[in-house]
Structure 1
Amino acid sequence: MTRNIGSLDQAIRLIFALILITSPFVSGLSYFDTTWMTYTSVSLGVVMLLVSLIRICPLYSILGIRTCKSC
């Protein structure tokens, strides 16, 4: 598959992934008191992290979007 995520997009996804993965464990927010919310946040964070590392977004492929200029 062809890469379709540029450097800036990759950095933004990586930052949001790390925030989603760590926030249930370091924040005292009440909406992370439920187990399903913690699992959802960590699961979305892991997906965003993997997409950021491989630089291929399936949704971008379906919609025909490419943020990578040189790929």
Structure 2
Amino acid sequence: MQANLGSIDRTIRILAGLGLIAATLSGAIGTWGWVGVIPLATGIFRFCPAYLPFGIRTCPMRTNTPKGKK
């Protein structure tokens, strides 16, 4: 499982997931707010399986260049 989420995408997912869960726990929204577990988990693990079929990556590509060499 290779990371495919960048830092901005990851931050948005974690905040949205926590917001939905908090709203559910406070009673502001119904039980559908537990769907916030999905963006929270994908943000924590830096991996979104829905991105795979489309080849989407929001994280920078790693290079195989050793440190100190260009």
| Structure 1 and Structure 2 fold alike (TM over 0.5) | yes
Q: Which of 1 and 2 has greater Rg?
A: 2
Higher relative contact order (CA 8 A, sep 6+): 1
Q: 2:53 aligns with which of 52, 62, 65?
A: 62
Task: Name the TM-score, length of structure 1 as normaliser.
Answer: 0.76
Unaligned runs of 5+ in 1: none
Q: Root-mean-square deviation (CA), in Å? A: 1.5
Q: % of aligned pairs identical?
A: 37
Q: 1:41 aligns with which of 33, 45, 54?
A: 33
Greater helix percent: which structure? 1
Task: Name the TM-score, length of structure 2 as normaliser.
Answer: 0.76
Unaligned runs of 5+ in 2: 63-70
| 1:1-71 map, 5 Å | 1-28=1-28, 32=29, 37-38=30-31, 40-42=32-34, 44-71=35-62
